[in-house]
Structures are given as structure tokens and as C-alpha cells.
A and B are shown apart, each in its own frame.
Chain A
Amino acid sequence: MVTAALKEDLPGAGREISIEAVSHRFDLEGAPLPVLDDVSFTIEPGSFVALLGPSGCGKSTLLRLIAGLDHPASGAIRVDGAQVGAPDPSRILVFQDPTLFPWRTVRANVALGLEAQGTLKTEGHRIDAAINLVGLQGFDKAYPHQLSGGMAQRVALARALVNQPNVLLLDEPLGKLDSLTRLAMQTELVRLWQQSGLTAVLVTHDVEEALYLAQRVIVFGPRPAQVVADLTVDLPYPRHRGHPRIAELRHEALRHLGLEASW
């Protein structure tokens, strides 16, 4: 029932993302610090891709470039063929911290995008759909400080999904949750992605999370980030964490990350 309402409210229109020879560097007090080195790959529309790599390798930077919050020093990023310019509500970034606005209720936080785009009056009905989608019915009037970490991150997801994005960029969105909430939220993420049909790009340094969620895992080496492996997770959903194929892929991913000795 909920699913039927969603199909209508959050139509699936995942887009293709192509990263073309992207290099990027930060300027640290005059000394350039390279973070991305000639990265190229293409993400199929409507797919779920994980970017896996050691912390600080530059994968989050790549996500910010796709969002349009920063611009690559060289190379190009295209979404459905159009070069990425300014940030746009069709590509929404979800941060590791929920960063909800503490002065707004759950409902007002979810409404933020519609308000910013001036479509609150015509599209307001989507707010309830988004709140229901993440299972927070009845919490509309709560303030962020009254929510647990998992609930706050759900609100952040609803705040993103209410805009019917074509691309959802997830920057370690479950990184700060306790491990049980984290497992539950992973299943939720798969469900949300399947129901909405958008293109999902997840940055994580958790190998198991990447393999459990994504159809394809792109492994990055240490900074400056380069693609060291591109693994296809050829398992249907819902997946099982104990599946031998996941263990196999995990071994392979760890090998690419230089952690084979721990196997």
C-alpha cells in the first residue's frame, strides 16, 4: 500500500553519472594536496554503487564534486550528459551527521527543500509521504534534539527524498550509528532505493556495508585516490550477510585495500 503511494510520489528516474578523468587538489597553506588522481568511471542510471576506500582517501571529495558543492581541478563530471554546475535538488547529499536544523520540527526539516524551491504549496503532500517512507509517522512535531541518532538520520533521508532526487549521494550516512541501528538502517536503505528507483552512490569505509548494499563496489587506494578495483556484487536482494559469495568478495576487497594479512 505504502509502496503504491510511493511509486506515484517518488517516481523512479535514476540518472547516469560519468566521472571523466577527474583530478582534484586542496590548497593547504600554499602547498597543493592532491586528493583525486585521474579518476574515471560511469555509474548506470538507477544503480546502487559504493565507493570504498580508507578514511581520508578523497572519496567524500568526489561525492561533493558530484553534488556540485566543489568543482574539479581538471576533468569533468556529467549527469545524463550535462556537466555538473551548481548544487541542484535533483542530486542530494546526505552527510554523516544528520545536520538537521535544530530550530525546525521534523516536519519543517523535511519541508526544507520544497520551501527553498518555492514548491511548498503545490507539493506539500509529499512531506507526509516522505515521513511515512522512513517510518517516522507521529514524530512530525518533534524537535531534532528529541530524536535518537537513527531517527535523526531517517529524517535526513526523508529531507532528501521529499525532493524526488534522481541521484542520492550518501556520505557515510550510517557512520555514527550504533552497530544494531546500523544494520537495520542498511536494510532500510536498500528498500528506499528499490522503491524510488534513483541512482544511489554510497561512500563508506565499511567493506561489509558496501557489499551488503551495492550492486557494484569501486575500491579506492590511499590518497590521492585512484580506482584500484571495480567489483560487481552479483547477488539478488534481499541479501544475507553470511552468504559465501559476500565472504569471497570481502576477501577480494580487503586484498585490494592492502589488508590481506588480516584475512
Chain B
Amino acid sequence: MASIELPLEAGRAPAPVQGWTLLAALPWFAAVAVLLLVPDLTYQPLGRELALIWGAVGGVLTLLGLFGNRLGRVGRWSALRGPWLFAIGAASVLWTVVTAKTGWLPQPFFPTPQAMLEVFLYDYGKILHSAAFSIWLLAKGFFFGAIAGFLIGVGMGWSRAVSYWATPLLRYIGPLPATAWLPLAFFIFPSSGSASVFLIAFSTAFPVAVLTWSGIAAVNRDYYEIARTLGASPLFLIVKVAIPSALPHVFVGLFMGLSTSFAVLVVAEMLGVEAGLGWYLQWAQGWAAYANMYAALFVMAAMCSGLITLLFRIRDRVLVWQKGVVRW
């Protein structure tokens, strides 16, 4: 939409400054002022460093506001996100005031911005390591779960015998939350890591299997007849007709599976696995390190939304033919 230029505007030079971006710089400078000029309630570390960072953000926004329209991609981004940049700056002011300056929010449950900076500055190694561990555990579980669910779903959609045996099992065991297996799984599996992989795979496989199955069942029968008159073998009918036709459903299953696997991952890490963001969260709680907990939540949110975005990208690429058929 943004790329469509009205004929009237086409000949006109772009606006010299980005109003919203300039406006967005103000709360960031205000935050610096509040941080440096109003005394803290209790001692806070890293006040000057934080002021420097926020001041830099304000400075960059000022420059973007003045010259952004000549900067291409970055400029377009700031023009679009001006109101958000303003809101985040304003929130920083508010946060500083209600925690460090007035203590309206009870300390230490709501950490000050300085304390958060301290966590990221001095504990980033541990947090990143935990995040990497979580992603790796999730990737293993999701991979095996997606493959198993897909194969079960294709089998159920294709073969009456598989469907006869698998449907009741899937109906009975599938809806059970994977976390309910946790205590047992930690006993049965040789390590808590392999138990977690199994549980994540289990929670992923159920929605993927159900959606793949319904996708295969929904394939237009005429596609099979067309392919058969063109000389297709049964294998061709599965691989080149049924599966591609069912793929949109499979992706819905993958999205559902990924979402539930996050929950299983965190619970498994909290209860048994001695690493990962879930474990970090638990560990921080043990030390009453509230800033660290918020930091872990922040990184966890980035990780989950990043993985969902990645899956969206893959879907867009694989199902490019759907553009124009379905509104995304």
C-alpha cells in the first residue's frame, strides 16, 4: 500500500523531515533528563551509562527525523515506526519514574531500568547460552515431532488399516497435555534432556498428525482421477498429489505444534533440565534476582516470536502458490 504513489504526489519532492521521528526523540531526551536530574530513591548502578544509551537513541532519532527521507531503507522504517518509537521512549520515562525515582511500584519486584541494564551487561553470556540451549532442545523435539506427526497423519489419511488403529489412540492420548508425562518421562529416559526432546516431540506430533490427516482427507477426489488417467502410480498419488494438496493444513498443524512445544520446553527446563531459559528463570527466582527474570522473559519472547516468524517465512516460500487463492 505504501508503495502506491498518487499521481499528484509523484511529481512532488518527499517531505524534508519526518515529523513523527523528530517527535519521538523528545521522550528519549526527557528520559535522560529524568534519569540524571532526579535523585534515585536507593543507590542504582550504571545511571550514566544508561543515560548515554538513551541519549544516543534520542540523537539517532533526531538525525533520522532530519535526514531519514534521504536514507532509503532505514529512513522508511523510521517513518513507519515513528509513533512506536515515541511510545517506547515515553514508556522509558514512566518506567524510570515509577521504579527508580518514586518507588510507586514495589521494589525489588519491579526492577529499575538501571538494574535491567546491569543484568544484560554482566549476565548476557549466561542468558545467550541458555537461549541457545533452549533453541537446540526445541529444534530437536520439534523436528522429530513434526516428522512423526506428518507420517502418522499421511498414514491415517491414506490407509484404512493405519486409520483404524491410530485414530482411537490419537483421540485418547493426543489431547493429554504433554507436561502430564513429565514425571514419568524423567524416570523412563536416561537423561532429562532426552526426556524433554521426547515430550516436545510428543506435543508437536499431535496437532501435526491431526491436521495432516484432515488435509489428506480433504484432497479433491478429482485430482486423484486426473492423475490416475495420466498414468500415476499409488506412490505418485501420495507424494505428488495428496501431500502437496494437504500442505496448507500441515502448516497449520506445525504452527499449533510450535506454540504448544514452547510451553512444554519451559516447563521441562524448570522441572528437570539443568540449562536453558526456563532453568535460568527458575534459578533467578531462587536468588530473588527479579531483574534477571525479566531479562529471561524478554529474551524468551524474542526467541518464541522469532521462531514463529521463521516458520511463517518458510510457509510463505513453500506455499507461494497460495498467494491470491487465500488471503493471508
Which of chain A's residues have a CB closer than 8 A to the CB of B226? 93, 95, 99, 112
Please, which residue of chain A has its CB at the minimum distance from the CB of B229? A87
CB distance from B246 to the nearest CB of A (A): 10
**A139 CB–B CB distance under 8 Å:** no
Are B229 and A103 in contact, CB atoms less than 8 angstroms apart? no
The stretch among A113-121, A125-133, A197-205, A235-243 that forms the contact with chain B is A113-121
| Contact-residue bracket for chain A | 20 to 34
**A101 CB–B CB distance under 8 Å:** yes
Please, which residue of chain B has its CB at the minimum distance from the CB of A116? B232
Interface residues of B in 277-328 (CB under 8 A from A): 319, 321-322, 324-325
CB distance from B230 to the nearest CB of A (A): 4
Bound form: Cα–Cα A89–B230 in Å: 5
Are A163 and B220 in contact, CB atoms less than 8 angstroms apart? no
Which of chain B's residues have a CB closer than 8 A to the CB of A67? 229
Are B325 and A102 in contact, CB atoms less than 8 angstroms apart? yes
Are B227 and A116 in contact, CB atoms less than 8 angstroms apart? yes
**B233 CB–A CB distance under 8 Å:** yes
Q: Taking A69-B225, A95-B222, A102-B321 as contacts, is the C-beta distance between A116 and B231 under 8 angstroms?
A: yes
Q: Taking A99-B220, A101-B241 as contacts, is the C-beta distance between A93 and B229 under 8 angstroms?
A: yes
Are B223 and A143 in contact, CB atoms less than 8 angstroms apart? no
Instruction: Tell me whether chain A's interface is mostly helix, strand or loop, or mixed.
Output: loop
Which of chain A's residues have a CB closer than 8 A to the CB of B223? 99, 101
Which residue of the partner chain, among A99, A116, A145, contacts B233 with CB atoms under 8 Å? A116
Which of chain B's residues have a CB closer than 8 A to the CB of A89? 229-231
CB distance from B316 to the nearest CB of A (A): 14
Please, which residue of chain A has its CB at the minimum distance from the CB of B318? A103
Bound form: Cα–Cα A159–B229 in Å: 11
**A91 CB–B CB distance under 8 Å:** yes
**A3 CB–B CB distance under 8 Å:** no
Bound form: Cα–Cα A251–B220 in Å: 40
**B244 CB–A CB distance under 8 Å:** yes
List the 6 shortest-distance A-B pairs measured between CB atoms, nearest first.
A113-B230, A116-B232, A89-B231, A117-B231, A87-B229, A103-B321
**A residues bordering B, Cβ < 8 Å?**
67-69, 86-89, 91-93, 95, 97, 99, 101-104, 112-113, 115-117, 143, 145-146, 159, 163
Give me 7 other A-B pairs in contact (C-beta within 8 A), A69-B225, A95-B222, A116-B233 excluded: A69-B228, A89-B229, A89-B230, A89-B231, A97-B222, A103-B247, A104-B244
Can you name 20 A-B pairs with beta carbons within 8 Å? A67-B229, A86-B228, A87-B228, A88-B229, A89-B231, A92-B230, A93-B229, A99-B223, A99-B226, A101-B241, A102-B322, A102-B325, A103-B319, A103-B322, A116-B227, A116-B231, A116-B233, A116-B240, A146-B324, A163-B231
